[in-house]
């Protein structure tokens, strides 16, 4: 995908053209929103706030132009909130701080704030999802589809309680993916610190680590409070990234086979428990400073 970054940064005019096309493509296929957001973030990081705001508006214009013919105005609004505004805002943070860690802290804070506002606005997201699932099942039954009892139990009894957390984690991962891709593009196009070195230095700090410790404590005494569980899921996701940064650092310094990295990523894809294990590793690293110990052991 480096060719896309080269094309975007070739000239301001090409950046606008590509942004219009990617913005329109987002309405056709949602994953294009990640590329569109990464383009906005790249221009903001490399050229500044004004060019970044221009490509954001170009993306919005491309989507709006398509919406004129398809009447997908709600999708335009969703794309603006899901991809383009977060990409621009987090790129501003990353550009000002020159720190992936700071960008991740801000992204996590924004998502936690969004969770709190969602609970204040909706009241009970679980009830909202439950009603949505019931309407979905009724629609399927009206169409003559046969729904297995196990599927009904999953949709009605289990999924509504965790769906808010899954949506929040998924959306946060989208935000982070856009910024990591944009940063990788930037480091490849310009003379900068290699992306791998910057990624391996991710450290979320004691504030978020302490907040996660508090959420772990609260969930033991108030397991029925879904907001606490949702916040814990969001924090687990970002500490998983710090855990992965630590593992990549260990692999590079110890010159261990990359097969271990491949195995860990495969296990993350097939074992849900693996995410919590890697997140715990990243969480503890804020106090134990394993990277310093690994570096010291390699020099001795």
Domain-by-domain residue ranges, the chain? Answer: 193-300
| Pairwise CA distance, residues 95 & 108, whole Å | 17
pTM of the model: 0.93
Q: Packing angle between helix 159-189 and helix 32-47, nearest 10 degrees?
A: 40
pLDDT in tens, 167-204: 999 999 999 999 999 999 999 999 888 999 999 999 99
pLDDT at residue 271 in the model:
86
| Pairwise CA distance, residues 114 & 109, whole Å | 9
| Pairwise CA distance, residues 123 & 100, whole Å | 34
pLDDT at residue 161 in the model:
86
Task: Give me the long-range contacts of 115-120 (CB less than 8 A, separation at least 24).
Answer: 115/164, 115/168, 115/227, 115/230, 115/231, 115/234, 116/227, 118/164, 119/227
pLDDT at residue 138 in the model:
79
CB-based burial, 66-81: b 16+ in 10 Å, e otherwise = bbeeeebeebbebbbe
pLDDT at residue 202 in the model:
95
CA 249 from chain centre, in angstroms, equals: 21
Query: Which residues in the chain come in under a pLDDT of 50?
Result: none
pLDDT at residue 210 in the model:
95
pLDDT at residue 53 in the model:
97
- C-beta of residue 212 within 8 angstroms of C-beta of residue 239: yes
pLDDT at residue 158 in the model:
82
| Pairwise CA distance, residues 288 & 16, whole Å | 46
| Pairwise CA distance, residues 185 & 45, whole Å | 10
> Which spans in the chain are helix H?
2-8, 12-28, 32-47, 49-70, 73-79, 85-97, 100-122, 125-142, 149-153, 159-189, 195-200, 205-221, 226-254, 259-270, 272-288, 290-299
CA angle 71/14/199 to nearest 5° reads 95
The pair of structure tokens assigned to 141 is 């039954």
| Pairwise CA distance, residues 267 & 274, whole Å | 6
| Pairwise CA distance, residues 244 & 258, whole Å | 13
Closest-CA residue to 167 (of 136, 199, 128): 128
The pair of structure tokens assigned to 78 is 């969703």
pLDDT at residue 99 in the model:
96
pLDDT at residue 249 in the model:
93
């Amino acid at each position: 995908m480096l060719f896309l970054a080269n094309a975007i940064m070739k000239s301001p005019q090409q950046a606008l053209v590509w942004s219009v096309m990617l913005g329109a493509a987002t309405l056709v296929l949602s994953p294009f929103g990640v590329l569109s957001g990464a383009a906005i973030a790249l221009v903001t990081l490399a050229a500044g706030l004004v060019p970044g705001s221009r490509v954001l508006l170009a993306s919005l214009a491309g989507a709006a132009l398509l919406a004129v013919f398809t009447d997908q105005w709600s999708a335009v609004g969703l794309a603006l909130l899901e991809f383009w505004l977060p990409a621009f805002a987090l790129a501003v943070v990353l550009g000002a701080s020159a720190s992936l860690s700071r960008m991740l802290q801000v992204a996590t804070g924004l998502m936690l704030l969004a969770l709190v506002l969602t609970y204040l606005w909706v009241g009970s997201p679980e009830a909202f999802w439950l009603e949505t699932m019931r309407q979905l099942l009724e629609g399927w039954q009206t169409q003559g589809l046969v729904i297995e009892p196990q599927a009904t139990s999953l949709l009605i009894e289990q999924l509504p309680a965790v769906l808010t957390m899954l949506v929040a984690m998924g959306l946060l991962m989208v935000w982070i993916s856009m910024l990591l891709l944009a940063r990788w593009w930037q480091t490849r196009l310009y003379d900068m610190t290699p992306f791998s070195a910057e990624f391996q230095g991710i450290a979320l700090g004691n504030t978020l680590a302490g907040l996660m410790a508090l959420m772990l404590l609260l969930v033991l005494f108030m397991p029925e409070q879904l907001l606490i569980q949702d916040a814990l899921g969001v924090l687990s996701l970002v500490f998983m990234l710090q855990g992965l940064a630590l593992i990549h650092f260990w692999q590079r310094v110890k010159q261990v086979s990359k097969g271990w990295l491949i195995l860990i990523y495969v296990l993350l894809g097939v074992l849900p428990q693996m995410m919590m294990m890697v997140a715990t590793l990243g969480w503890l690293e804020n106090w134990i400073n394993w990277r310093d110990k690994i570096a010291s052991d390699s020099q001795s």
